[in-house]
Amino acid sequence: MPPFDNLSLSGRHLIEGRWLDSDRTFDGGQGRRVFVGTEAIVKAAGLAAEAAFERFSATSRAARAEFLRAIAEELDALGDAITQAGVAETGLPQARLEGERGRTTGQLRLFASHIESEDYLDLRHDPAMPERTPLPRADLKLMQLPVGPVAVFGASNFPLAFSVAGGDTAAALAAGCPVVVKGHESHTAVGELAALAIHNAIKRCEMPSGVFSFVQGGGHETGANLVQHPAIKAVGFTGSLKGGRALFDLCAARPEPIPFFGELGSVNPVFMLPGVLADKASSLGAAWAGSLLLGAGQFCTNPGVVLVPEGQDGDAFVDSAVLALSQAGAQTMLSQGIADSCARGAQQLQAAKGVECLVEGMVNEREVTPSVVACDWATYSANPELSHEVFGPVGVIVRVKDVNEMEKFLDACVGQLTMTLHLTDRDHDAARKLMPKLVRKAGRVLANGFPTGVEVCDSMVHGGPYPASTNFGATSVGTMAIRRFLRPVCFQDIDRALLPEELR
């Protein structure tokens, strides 16, 4: 595996097949200067995507599937370099980065297989009825077509799977949409290498050069310019509520408003029902702690709030969780900014009136140990800050009197990516009370598991009611993600020779 400092990286942008610099740079870490994604660079990327759209959207499904598989192969060819760069930039272990690369290439290959079938096009046909009275019916055919160039924002916590060549990019390219990616400032080297892999695949498959552009970061200005570019017709985003809402508002305020598909995170409540706690309170406490610690808590599905009934079994759950978290070692966070934000969030939870600090964590530069506070339902409901996501290994235990207080929690709860029930057969009556509220508030409802770990498959939903995401009808993981970048078009009495191939 080559050393990170010997990698041939330029810190440049990839626009229409050319590596370009700009008139400003920022610190890309590891002593690298990276060129800022200026307004001129964003404009060039948008124009290149628009110029490529008609040709790329007209490519066959087989050709796009070949292209997606070629990207996956090129990522694997650069695998050692990507892993080495990722370890240096993010602090993630080698095994995590190799696993994430496998997920990234798997997503690309999954979408390739998905579009080889016509099912995603939702083909429909209502034949003409010229003899119908009082009015005849025209011949009507419908299919889904690509929306146009798509902007994708690389995520901080997944340098591969939710970044340059990640799920949003795979879904948009599969749909037939050119993509402009804004790379994340925390992993500029990994982003550049992933862009190189796509660039190599474009040349291999003889795709139009403007089908993909990579714009290095540079702060809020770069993102704002990108979502306001008139060529961009949809946006895929994974990040914070604050940043995502700002971009969402910009999309809505454009002369031509466009859809913003933002995945903004949540606290992913977990409900421990009495029957299951009577059977295995201690093991569940340790299991919740393990999920909270996974990836240093830097997953959008991190189970940050757990509701536990009062009483001896609930006490056993809490004691077990506290023991596991107290014994946990320090973990390295993805960036100094994320570590600082985690420290502020933990301090705000601990300062809330009426809470008990059970595990007082530590943040030392990028090293963090877990923090957990506990309170009753009345205290939780009186302190809104307790329901705010803290990105890191930080949890809130809410002690409840009964299932009625769990219902009150759900009534007050905002939209979430996930909600989880732990139960046995003896808890089914209680679960039936909660289920209508769970499905109303979450995109994914789990039983007897933990939400960390999102399967990439046909049935997955990674989204939820606002503020978990900005569009409750969409997902950013799984094959249904392609629907975000398609729109239905009806063809009325159009001659067969003029129709798209799938409708002839």
Q: Which residues are catalytic?
A: 263, 300
Three-state SS for 252?
helix
Orientation angle between helical segments 94-116 and 61-77, nearest 10 degrees: 170
CA gap 335, 332 in Å, rounded? 8
CA gap 468, 266 in Å, rounded? 5
Burial of 348 (0-12, 13-18, 19+ CB in 10 A): middle
Non-local (6+) Cβ contacts of 326 within 8 A are 359
Report the run of H or E that residue 20 belongs to, with start and end.
strand 18-20
Residue pair 36/188 in contact by the 8 Å Cβ criterion: no
Residue pair 377/401 in contact by the 8 Å Cβ criterion: yes
Residue pair 14/195 in contact by the 8 Å Cβ criterion: yes
CA gap 104, 171 in Å, rounded? 12
**CA quadruple 19, 24, 26, 30: dihedral positive or negative?**
positive
Q: Where are the beta strands (DSSP E) in 363-477?
A: 363-364, 367-368, 371-376, 394-400, 416-422, 442-447
Burial 174-200 (b: 16+ CB within 10 A, else e): bbbbbbbbbbbbbbbbbbbbbbbbbbb
Q: For Cα atoms 48, 470, 248, give the angle at the middle one, nearest 5 degrees.
A: 50
DSSP assignment string, 123-140: -EEE--BTT-SSS-B--E
Tokens at 473, concatenated: 């009808």
Q: For Cα atoms 326, 327, 333, give the angle at the middle one, nearest 5 degrees.
A: 85
